[in-house]
Amino acid sequence: MTKGQTFKIGTRGSPLALAQAHETRRRMMLAHDMSEDQFEIVVIKTTGDRVLDRPLGEIGGKGLFTKEIEDALLDGSIDCAVHSMKDMPVDQPGGLIVDCYLPREDPRDAFLSLTAHGLADLAPGTVVGTSSLRRRAQLCKARPDLNVVEFRGNVQTRLKKLDDNVAAATFLAMAGLNRLGLMDTVPAKPIETEDMLPAVAQGAIGIECRDSDDATRTLLAALNHAPTTARLAAERAFLAGLDGSCQTPIAALAELDGDRLTMRGQVIKPDGSESFEATETVAVADGADMGAAMAAEMKSKMSADFFA
């Protein structure tokens, strides 16, 4: 950065997205002894934020939350973009790169209800809302007796929908609730990963920039969290190997123990009627290869219409 230049951080405008952009700014200020007035948070509305009345799969999938922001990166309107990595397609547009990850938050899902303490408390036929095909498929597998409906919106919107009896329960990510400081104020309870395996990269923040922008890449390198990078390398290789998108119910979680990495992966039919699961442990350096191999093994067992 030249003297007097403002560093522009692009983000979606939701409370959670802004909290993540502010966290990125705070870490950059600490790492480089910069002041707040050297930054500008640039809010960019994406198609996924504008269209709330239809499932994501019907209007394009994961790129709906990134395209407009990435366009701003490519035309130089912003210097970097802050993303929830579970929303990121596995491939970036040419000229862009994500090689900086902040420390991962709690990757678990949370069960949210005004009347029930958990899934086991829900009577057959109870309406449960979710916009996630992964959560829908997992729910249909675990509780095929429930009635699952489309349910989108931020935390406040979903709470209002619960209060209006649109559904009796829904799900959110623990990471978002923690980053917004809401765990003490909303009726949410964490779901253990043995019961609901999270989305790939859930709880992780990635920072994207132009791959030719050496100055920005140098600034961001000081923020990168190596353990999160290693975990996401395995998970996103698994996702890539399965051609994963918002239209494919895929879950994975990689965890570190010293120099070893263990990952659980899961692929489920959208109606929950069939699934493939696997667990592997390898050296950390082999995580991405393991993720790709696990995906290939599962793919070889699937019927051609598995995701139909």
Catalytic residue numbers read: 87
Task: Using CA atoms of 91, 95, 100, 105 in order, give the dihedral in degrees to the nearest 10.
Answer: -40
Tokens coding 230: 């290693």
CA separation (Å) from 264 to 110, 153, 202?
19, 29, 14
8 close to 42: Cβ distance less than 8 angstroms? yes
- Distance, in Å, from the CA atom of 208 to the CA atom of 223, rounded to the nearest integer, reads 12
Q: Answer yes or no: are the C-beta atoms of 41 and 12 closer than 8 Å.
A: no
DSSP 31-48: HHT--GGGEEEEE---HH
Contact 49, 39 (CB under 8 A): no
The span from the CA of 104 to the CA of 208, in Å, is: 16
Q: CA dihedral in degrees (190, 193, 198, 203; nearest 10)?
A: 60
| Helix axis angle, 15-32 to 214-221, nearest 10° | 90
